[in-house]
Structure 1
Amino acid sequence: MTTATETITPRVWIGCLACYNAGRLVGDWHDATDAAEVSTADVHGRQSSHEELWCFDIENIPVRREMSPHEAAEWGRVFDEVDDHQRDALYAWVASGDYVAEGTGELPCTSDFEERYCGRWDSFDDYARQLADDVGLLRDVPEEIATYFDWDSWTRDQRFDYSVVDADTGVHVFRSC
Structure 2
Amino acid sequence: MQLVFNSESEALAVAEQLYNIQQIGKILIPADKTIDYQALELAVNLAGVNFPSFSFPIVSSLKCRLPYPSHERECTDNKTPKIYVACLSAYNSGHLHGLWIDATQDLEDIEDDIKWMLSWSPVADDEPCEEWAIHDYENFADFSLREYESLEYISKLAQVLDDADDADAMAAWLNYAKDPIHNPDIEKLAEEFSSYYCGHWESERDFVLKSDEIESMYNWSEFEKNFLFWSQHIDWDSVARELFIEGYDSVKASPHGVYIFREYYG
The TM-score, its normalising length taken from structure 2, stands at 0.51
Partner SS for 1:14: strand
Match of 1:173 in 2: 260
Match of 1:3 in 2: none
Residue identity matched to 1:133: E
Number of aligned positions between the proteins: 166
Partner SS for 1:149: coil
Pair 1:54 & 2:133 matched: yes
Match of 1:115 in 2: 195
Match of 2:101 in 1: 30
CA distance in structure 2 between the partners assigned to 1:23 and 1:162 by the alignment = 48
CA distance in structure 1 between the partners assigned to 2:133 and 2:197 by the alignment = 33
Match of 2:178 in 1: 100
Pair 1:71 & 2:170 matched: no
Match of 1:4 in 2: none
Pair 1:159 & 2:237 matched: no
CA distance in structure 2 between the partners assigned to 1:124 and 1:43 by the alignment = 50
Larger RCO (alpha carbons 8 Å, 6+ apart): 1
**Conservation of the 8 A alpha-carbon contact between 1:10 and 1:75:** no
Out of 143-152 and 161-170, give the one that drifted further. Answer: 143-152
Root-mean-square deviation over aligned CA pairs: 3.2
Structure 1 residues without counterparts, runs of 5 or longer:
1-6
Match of 2:58 in 1: none
Partner SS for 1:118: strand
**Match among 38, 41, 45 for residue 116 of structure 2:** 41
The TM-score, its normalising length taken from structure 1, stands at 0.72
Residue identity matched to 1:174: F
Structure 2 residues without counterparts, runs of 5 or longer:
1-77
Map 1:121-136 onto structure 2 (within 5 A). Answer: 121-131=201-211, 132-136=214-218
Runs of 4+ in 1 over 4 A off after TM superposition: 42-46
Residue identity matched to 1:65: R
**Conservation of the 8 A alpha-carbon contact between 1:12 and 1:31:** yes
CA distance in structure 2 between the partners assigned to 1:8 and 1:92 by the alignment = 18
Partner SS for 2:220: coil
Residue identity matched to 2:101: H
**Cα distance change of structure 1 residues 8 and 106 upon mapping to structure 2, 3 Å threshold:** farther
**Cα distance change of structure 1 residues 162 and 21 upon mapping to structure 2, 3 Å threshold:** same
CA distance in structure 1 between the partners assigned to 2:184 and 2:205 by the alignment = 31
Partner SS for 1:98: helix
Q: Deviations over 1:103-135 (max 9, x none)?
A: 931454212333222111222221111233233
**Conservation of the 8 A alpha-carbon contact between 1:17 and 1:52:** yes
Cα deviation for residue 54 of structure 1 reads 3.4
Q: Deviations over 1:54-101 (max 9, x none)?
A: 322222330241125443222212213422xx101122334xx42235
Q: Which has the larger radius of gyration?
A: 2
